[in-house]
């Protein structure tokens, strides 16, 4: 359980694997799991007969129908599923301990402590975006609990940040303004299970957050995703900037993982389309703690990009990339296992063009 901030309740994800719906998992053939061996086992709950094998990771054939297929061992049981997930997950945990010495100087300043939702999730100094539009009393750059992480080979392509607190909404909009961000992915939709869930955009008309005016232009609600189109303007400046927020509604708060990978794949496609004209601007990913759900999205995006561009499946490496910046990301065995589920779903949809009715487009993840 993640420690709760005073006055806040949030049913955090549990690290226990749900045995009623086994996840597709990696099968590790040797103890050299640091080499990222990968074997996909389709969901036993669906009774799938085949699996996709790469050991160690190597190029996937351009024609997805040529991906080698093997039969799933009939003797595979829940303990096997747990064991095959646990080995690479333990490698990921050991890797993360290398970053325990990161400094969090600005996050631990007296004036900034209250801006951190959870005291153990803090941004390291060398990957923390500083703010210019809002500043500290001593004139230094403003602080927000956020970190850069890699996106599709671009060092600072993602910014992970916590859902704004009432007193940090101006900081959130300063982050978007100062770092030229136009696309936001919100992985934590409003929920009755979460107390003090602070809206950070107006439900209608416009609202002022510190030196920023935000105007609602349009809102579109679909089966799994809410799209919000906003205009952002800093007071005293005449220019407006368009901002798109894509909110994932298909992952209930308190659930360890999403019910299905397809809505996240669909979300990635929508983000890609909206990012075409702003390829080098960072994409902001936000969730309640700025780590768990945001980290899963970033990892999933890098996994699918690697599959499409490099013809390579390497879940462990993608997870390490996210953990370098946000060590608390993918903190449960459930979330780590879900990444294999999502990678398999992406490969399947990319081969067949079939989806779950969400009109998902695949095979077009953009290159940096």
pLDDT digits (tens, 9 = 90+) for 206-226: 999 999 999 999 999 999 999
Is 152 in the same domain as 74?
Answer: no
Q: Rounded to the nearest 5°, which phi and psi values hold at 152?
A: 55, 40
The reply to whether 22 falls in a domain is: no
46, 67, 97 — which closes off a domain? Answer: 97
Helices (H) and strands (E) in the chain, counts: 6, 13
Whether residue 153 is found in the same domain as residue 276 = yes
Predicted model pTM: 0.78
168 and 112 in a common domain: yes
- Weakest-pLDDT range from 43-47, 123-127, 313-317: 43-47
Residue 330 forms part of a structural domain: yes
Judge whether 16 lies within some domain: no
Residues 159 and 296 in one domain: yes
Q: Report the 10 Å Cβ neighbour count for 144.
A: 29
- Could you tell me the CA-to-CA distances from 3 to 8, 118, 121, 174, 289 in Å, in that order? 10, 7, 10, 28, 11
227: CATH: 3.90.190.10
Residue 252 lies in a domain: yes
Closest CA to 126 of 107, 153, 139, 154: 107
Residue 139 DSSP code: S
Residue 278: the pLDDT is: 78
Average pLDDT score over residue span 18-25: 32
- Which two structure tokens, joined as six digits, stand for 14? 């549990």
Cβ neighbors of 48 (< 8 A, separation 6 or more) are: 42, 72
pLDDT higher at 115 or 46: 115
pLDDT at 37 over 60: no
Residues 74 and 214 in one domain: no
Pair (77, 167) in one structural domain = no
If you search the block for the tokens 């349009």, which residue do you land on?
Answer: 218
Average pLDDT over residues 350-362: 43
**Stronger pLDDT, 282 or 353, i.e. the higher one:** 282
Do 117 and 68 share a domain, yes or no? no
For residues 175 and 65, membership in a common domain is answered with: no
Same domain (yes/no): 116, 85:
no
Residue whose structure tokens are 């794949």: 265
Q: Per-residue pLDDT for 289 more than 90?
A: yes
Q: What is the pLDDT of residue 81?
A: 64
Of 47, 68, 97, the residue at which a domain comes to its end is 97
Residue 351 confidence (pLDDT): 59
DSSP helix/strand/coil, 19 = coil
The domain total for the chain is 2
Is 99's pLDDT higher than 90? no
Is residue 241 a contact partner of residue 177, using CB atoms and an 8 Å limit? yes
Last residue of a domain, one of 65, 97, 129: 97
Q: Above pLDDT 70, what percent of the chain?
A: 71
On whether residue 162 sits in a domain, the answer given is yes
Does 66 share its domain with 196?
no
Strand pairing category for 241-248 and 183-186: parallel
Which of 32, 10, 46, 53 lies closest to 313, judged by CA?
53
Q: Is residue 212 part of a domain?
A: yes
- Both 158 and 244 in one domain: the answer is yes
In a domain, 318, yes or no: yes
Q: What is the model's pLDDT at position 48? A: 27
Q: Mean pLDDT across the stretch 344-360?
A: 59
- Structural domain including 123 reads 108-352
Closest CA to 330 of 361, 362, 300: 300
| Token pair belonging to 205 | 């008309």
Residue-wise burial string across 44-56, b where 16 or more C-beta atoms lie within 10 A, e elsewhere: beeeeeebbbbee
Q: DSSP 3-state assignment of 187?
A: coil
Question: Strand ranges (DSSP E) for 254-357?
Answer: 283-287
75/204 same-domain check: no
Q: Is the pLDDT of residue 144 over 70?
A: yes
* Sequential DSSP letters for 198-253: ---S-SSSEEEETTEEEEEEEEEE-SSEEEEEEEEEETT----EEEEEEEE-SS-T
Convert the pLDDT of each residue in 161-205 to its tens digit: 999 999 999 999 999 999 999 999 999 988 766 667 889 999 999
How high is the mean pLDDT of the chain? 77
Per-range mean pLDDT, top range of 18-22, 24-28, 213-217, 279-283: 213-217
Q: Is residue 85 part of a domain?
A: yes
Of 319, 96, 281, 30, the residue nearest 176 (C-alpha): 281
Amino acid 353: pLDDT? 52
Task: Tell me if 175 sits within 8 A of 144, measured CB to CB.
Answer: yes
Confidence band for 259, pLDDT divided at 50, 70 and 90: very high
């Amino acid at each position: 359980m993640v420690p709760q901030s005073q006055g806040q309740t949030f049913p955090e994800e549990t690290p226990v694997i749900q045995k009623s719906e086994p996840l597709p998992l990696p099968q590790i053939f040797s103890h050299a799991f640091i080499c990222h061996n990968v074997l996909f086992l389709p969901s036993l709950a669906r009774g799938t007969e085949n699996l996709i094998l790469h050991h160690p990771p190597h190029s996937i054939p351009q024609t997805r129908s040529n991906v080698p297929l093997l039969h799933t061992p009939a003797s595979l049981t829940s303990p096997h599923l747990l064991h095959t997930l646990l080995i690479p997950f333990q490698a990921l945990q050991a890797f993360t301990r290398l970053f325990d010495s990161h400094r969090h100087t600005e996050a631990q300043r007296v004036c900034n402590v209250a801006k951190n939702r959870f005291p153990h999730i803090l941004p390291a100094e060398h990957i923390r975006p500083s703010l210019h539009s809002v500043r500290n009393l001593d004139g230094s750059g403003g602080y927000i609990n956020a970190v850069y992480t890699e996106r599709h080979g671009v060092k600072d392509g993602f910014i992970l940040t916590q859902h704004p607190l009432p007193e940090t909404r101006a900081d959130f909009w300063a982050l978007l303004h100062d770092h030229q961000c136009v696309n936001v992915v919100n992985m934590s939709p409003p929920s009755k299970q979460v107390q003090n869930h602070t809206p950070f955009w107006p439900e209608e008309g416009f609202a002022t957050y510190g030196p920023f005016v935000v105007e609602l232009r349009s809102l579109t609600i679909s089966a799994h995703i809410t799209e919000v189109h906003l205009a952002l303007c800093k007071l005293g400046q005449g220019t407006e900037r368009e901002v798109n927020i894509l909110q994932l509604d298909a992952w209930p708060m308190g659930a360890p993982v999403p019910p299905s990978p397809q809505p996240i794949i669909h979300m990635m496609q929508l983000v890609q389309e909206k990012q075409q004209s702003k390829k080098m601007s960072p994409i902001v990913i936000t969730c309640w703690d700025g780590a768990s759900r945001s980290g899963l999205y970033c990892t999933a995006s890098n996994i699918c990009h690697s599959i499409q561009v490099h013809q390579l499946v390497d879940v462990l490496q993608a997870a390490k990339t996210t953990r370098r910046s946000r060590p608390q990301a993918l903190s449960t065995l459930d979330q780590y296992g879900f990444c294999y589920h999502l990678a398999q779903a992406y490969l399947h949809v990319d081969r067949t063009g079939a989806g779950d009715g969400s009109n998902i487009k695949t095979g077009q993840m953009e290159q940096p």
